[in-house]
Structure 1
């Protein structure tokens, strides 16, 4: 595959030269953090494969790009990843998953995408099994964008997908954290879950790609990924399954982001600023730039040093086929 390694644009110059028109406008940026206290390296990553098969991701904290041979015109793929440095080799884990996504063929259904990703997860677990130390992990929040079809969500970890309109930023994913495990077991209710997950922030995770899950057996890590779905989620989270087809709104934009953007004392208060922050901006690149500028110029109270990755997807045209039927979420 022909490749090159241009420098990653600054946070105020997001990467945005992707070919998604006439359906979408996409931009992304990733950096070590905001403010004076920053982590020594960026363990986040992202992947963008545009409708012409041009792929962009980070390797060694630098931008890498290639053109995928045989990629079908009109199909796209977007992902953000947050490597778990606390378990060792976090940056490597995020890089190897981003690289692995390049080899996954375009998928047209949620079940086909899940099958490919479960296979990648198992293969990477075997790859890391022979290494000393704890097994690394990474979050993975991604959208598969079939040509002419509705986007497909796949989610593992505590990065998030947000839908942002003129008045509200709504999380479309459920964090894979201990509070969610407690909710699955009926030990906390909706109010307590929201307070622990969105009202405060704790750097704990109950599931990650490569690492495995602590949902099926809370006392130990299990190898497979544990899908959060309508049949195991409480009713008040049942519409936020990890693997489902999405119906995008023409009057909203969609943000895939790592948890550095809400690693602060009052996450919900900062997230509530986003509609006004992004309102009136003309394109995805301006929105990504504004998010990073806010982290530098008006950071939330109690901001913790963490890596930052933000990817904005802005629908350009309304497509009547982008309507999620109940059966689509289980396909």
Structure 2
């Protein structure tokens, strides 16, 4: 397992934001290669889960993460146009990895953007959660066959965990010329006394349900703890997690309203989920 914890600082419009970040990734107990890739360098945090077999999956996820790192700034919040360009670049680079073969990757990313907000960009079945210190909120909806079956009322959540096609995703970076991510914008000040953002591949949620994850976060778990628990529970897939815990002490209240968040989304990325973190 690879794991690390860092304290990162980023200057935003109303002061300095302190981010306590933990990252962990493991190939699990079945897979020969870890096809997940993670990025945790403010202002961007991301998990990508490669597809296309071990010959291509690890290269696809690595290409997506490398594109985000190359396009997005390293010392300031990004602009929404930079996020759009990063997603386009990631999709194009993953397509080049595949060549004549089929390669793809999921992407779950959270980017600090001006003015004082978090942008969530998501495609596939990797997830982003919000934690307010008591309740775990799922901020993304899986692009997967079983999620579509759940949404249609054909199966329930328990049946989805056992469904033979639970690994089939309906959107990814790479298969098509244009990526179709879901996008939402959150206030910089996340709710709760001890807020956090959790990004993870489906190797985590395959082994631990939301209640188990919430219980561990309530006990102070970091990314290493979550990944270790998923591996102990079976580790049937690669497992990756990134936890970002922002500290707002001494940070002025950012003057961002709902109309500002609306304008930040623009028209080039698809906004299919509620914008507010609730």
- Per the alignment, residue 216 of structure 1 pairs with none
**1:87 CA drift (Å):** 8.4
Deviations 1:41-75 (A, max 9, x none): 1110111223xxxxxxxxxxxxxxxxxxxxxxxxx
Mapped contact 2:52–2:102 kept (Cα < 8 A): no
Q: Flag the structure with larger Rg.
A: 1
Residue number in structure 1 paired with 2:180? 226
Task: State the 1:289 CA deviation.
Answer: 2.6
Structure 2 partner of 1:26: 21
Do residues 255 (structure 1) and 198 (structure 2) align? Answer: yes
Task: Answer 1 or 2: which has greater strand percent.
Answer: 2
* Structure 2 residues without counterparts, runs of 5 or longer: 11-16, 267-278
Compare 166-175 and 145-154 and name the one that shifted more: 145-154
Equivalence map 1:110-129=2 (5 Å): 110-125=80-95, 127-128=96-97
Give the TM-score of the pair, scaled to structure 2: 0.76
- Contact 1:110/1:244 (<8 A) preserved: no
1:312 is matched with which residue?
243
- Residue 174 of structure 1 aligns to a residue whose secondary structure is coil
The range that moved more, 148-157 or 103-112, is: 103-112
Output aligned runs, 1:141-290, within 5 Å: 141-146=108-113, 149-179=116-146, 188-189=151-152, 191-192=153-154, 195=157, 202-212=166-176, 223-227=177-181, 242-247=182-187, 248-251=190-193, 252-264=195-207, 270-281=209-220, 286-290=221-225
Structure 1 residues 306, 259: closer, same or farther in 2, change over 3 A? Answer: same
CA distance in 2 between counterparts of 1:198 and 1:326 reads: 37
Structure 1 unaligned blocks of 5 or more: 1-9, 51-75, 213-222, 228-241
Contact 2:38 / 2:47 at 8 angstroms: preserved in 1?
yes
TM-superposed CA distance for 1:323, in Å, is 5.3
Residues 96-141 of structure 1, C-alpha deviations (whole Å, 9 max, x = no match):
122222220336443541233124423542x246x34x32001111
Distance 2:37 2:136 in 1: 23
Q: Root-mean-square deviation (CA), in Å?
A: 3.0
Q: Distance in 1 between matches of 2:71 and 2:84?
A: 11
1:149-171 CA distance string (max 9 Å, x none): 11111111110001123443221
TM-score, normalisation: structure 1: 0.65
